[in-house]
Amino acid sequence: MPFYLNEEEQDGRSAAHPDKDWGASIQEESHSRAGLPARGGGGFLCRYIIGKKGETKKRLETETRTSISIPKPGVEGEIVITGQHRSGVISARTRIDVLLDSFRKKQPFTHFLSIALNQPAIQEKFLQFKEEVLEKCSKDHGVSSSLFQNPAKLHLTLGTLVLLNEQEIQKACDLLQRCKEDFVDQIAGGKPLTVEVSGVEYMNDDPAVTDVLYAKVHMKDGSDRLQVIADQLVERFVASGLMLKEWDRVKLHATVMNTVFRKDPSAEERNNTMTGKSSFKERESFNGRNILKLFENFYFGEVQLDSVRLSQRFSSDASGYYATSGQLTF
């Protein structure tokens, strides 16, 4: 979060959270002033900062000796902090940042970085996989047709984001393009990446109690270029403050069966498939031992990957894939 100081202030003092860019500024005149976008407008986000009966806002103002102006409900704008002392304004700003980060962590994700795997040949093989699993394993505990992914939405998830307004969506789109220029084109060599989708694996510890079954993805040439691109993208988005760091490396996987689909077939991205967590309190697991034994090396096909998309959760475009807010192409 850079602070832009006038000449008298540029004496080497560093600002709080220098790695975050909120488009804010602070200037020393007769008083100090800082502004930051009211993410999500003046609605539920601002109510979170204001607190019950205004208690959070009042406490912040009292303890930092500042005045905090928050946009009215329904109004998009900045939260403005003013005070007689620069230290008080910075303190209030830092504490609001902490509140906003806490708020973001509590929200369900709205978007995710994805790589589509829904090319016709892959969809055809996936439907063959589904048919054969149901033919050979339908009597296994918990196995049913409702568990299978929508073939039009087969994809890799690189990371999830909570984007609370159009400004943040645009920021994410801009960051994607910078990543393309900074490293993606160089790693990909300006060409699509050829990958193979082959074999299945499960997420949890016991194959007899499976919630998520996924297809494995690897570069056909044996390189780690796709992994490097995925890891560096997530690193950049985490540094921007738009994504939370969850893992040291991105797990390249394409979900093919998920017990969360059993209760709500439209909830393709409702759960965190990396941990098996779901918005539903109860999930009926399935016995995946026979599936893993019979389809351990099932070949879903070869595909050319040429883009990373900023996909919208709970959405569909004309092709049946998730609606796209922005993308980078190789």
For helices 225-240 and 166-179, the axis angle rounded to 10 degrees is 140
Q: Is 200 exposed, middle or buried (0-12, 13-18, 19+ CB in 10 A)?
A: buried
Judged against a pLDDT cut of 80, whether residue 217 lies above it is answered with yes
What pLDDT score was predicted for residue 44? 56
Judged against a pLDDT cut of 60, whether residue 41 lies above it is answered with no
Query: Mean pLDDT score of the chain, rounded to an integer?
Result: 83
What pLDDT score was predicted for residue 216? 97
What pLDDT score was predicted for residue 151? 97
CA–CA dist 215, 199 (Å, integer): 6
Q: Which residue has the tokens 């539903």?
A: 280
What pLDDT score was predicted for residue 76? 67
% of the chain exceeding 90 in pLDDT:
61
CA quadruple 246, 251, 252, 256: dihedral, nearest 10: -90
The helix/strand/coil state of 160 is strand
What pLDDT score was predicted for residue 9? 32
CA quadruple 110, 115, 117, 118: dihedral, nearest 10: 50
Query: The whole model's pTM is what?
Result: 0.76
Q: Tens digits of per-residue pLDDT, 73-82?
A: 767 677 889 9
Beta bridge partners of 255: 214
Strands (E), 130-269: 155-161, 193-202, 212-219, 253-258
Q: How confident is the model at residue 277 (pLDDT cuts 50, 70, 90)?
A: very low
Helix (H) or strand (E) holding 144: none
Q: Tens digits of per-residue pLDDT, 278-290?
A: 444 478 999 999 9
Q: What are phi and psi of 4, to 5 degrees?
A: -105, 115
